[in-house]
């Protein structure tokens, strides 16, 4: 699932994963957990995350390669926040190999809307789940406190959007000629985006022979 920070990838990826009974693999979540638990990976990722930059390709590719080899990802998976560079996309193609065609969904949202969304975003400080507009007091999943992400401050958000344009946006060109690529209007209510995604997946499966 492609798209800039704040496009709603995490929310939609979670819904898709639940609907299809496959794991949602979010490199951002994995990295934040590593930072929280003070692992070596977390130590090296923290500076990049807190400054709005990308963690190095090798580390992230290694995380995803390991995760995709787990049994629960055998029949499919939803990737949220990966790939973010052409190097990562090339590595992903090699990892997927003959398992089936990737369905690539680009969630499109205007920049001014992204900035507004990120300014009001909260996540659970305990489990990392996204808070939705109707759960502003405590996490619906675990009851944990809702906090602002360390990289959602205005200045860092500006940097993350620049990084997206420079390093991640080129992936639209990388994937756009594939029959399984679809752009989705992400500037709608979450349920409408979910419907758009469901239709896009059906069309991508029909066009590209990917497995639903």
Residues taking part in catalysis = 9, 84, 121, 149, 160
Q: List the one residue from 4, 12, 17, 27 that touches ligand AMP (CB under 6 A).
A: 27
Nearest-CA neighbor of 116 among 194, 7, 192, 197?
7
| Structure tokens belonging to residue 81 | 């926040």
Q: How far is CA 154 from CA 10, 35, 108, 110, in A?
A: 20, 21, 21, 16
Binding of residue 8 to ligand AMP (CB under 6 A): no
Residue span 60-99 as binding mask against ligand AMP, x where in contact by CB under 6 A, dash where not: x--------------------xx-x---x-----------
Residue span 145-184 as binding mask against ligand AMP, x where in contact by CB under 6 A, dash where not: ------x--------x------------------------
Indicate the residue among 172 and 205 with the shorter CB distance to ligand AMP: 172
Residue 176: Cβ within 10 Å count: 12
| Structure tokens belonging to residue 17 | 């994963």
Binding of residue 55 to ligand AMP (CB under 6 A): yes
Please name the helix (run of DSSP H) or strand (run of DSSP E) that holds residue 12, with its range, or none.
helix 9-20
CB 108 within 8 A of CB 185: yes
User: What residue ranges bind ligand AMP (CB under 6 A)?
Assistant: 5, 27-28, 31, 48-49, 53-55, 60, 81-82, 84, 88, 151, 160
């Amino acid at each position: 699932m492609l798209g800039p920070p704040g496009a709603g990838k995490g929310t939609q990826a979670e819904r898709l994963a639940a609907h299809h009974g496959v794991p949602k693999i979010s490199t951002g979540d994995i990295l934040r957990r590593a930072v929280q638990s003070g692992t070596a990976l977390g130590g090296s990722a923290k500076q990049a995350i807190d400054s709005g930059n990308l963690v190095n390709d090798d580390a992230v590719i290694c995380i995803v390669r390991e995760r995709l080899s787990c049994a629960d990802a055998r029949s499919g998976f939803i990737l949220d926040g990966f790939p973010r560079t052409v190097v990562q996309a090339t590595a992903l193609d090699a990892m997927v190999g003959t398992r089936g065609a990737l369905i690539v969904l680009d969630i499109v949202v205007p920049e001014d809307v992204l900035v507004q969304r990120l300014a009001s975003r909260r996540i659970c400080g305990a489990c990392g789940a996204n808070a939705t507009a109707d759960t502003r007091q405590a996490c619906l999943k675990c009851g944990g406190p809702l906090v602002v992400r360390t990289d959602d401050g205005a200045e860092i958000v500006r940097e993350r959007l620049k990084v997206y344009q420079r390093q991640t946006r080129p992936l639209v060109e990388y994937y756009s000629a594939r029959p399984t690529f679809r752009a989705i209007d992400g500037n709608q209510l979450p349920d409408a985006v979910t419907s758009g995604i469901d239709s896009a997946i059906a069309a991508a499966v029909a066009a590209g022979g990917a497995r639903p």
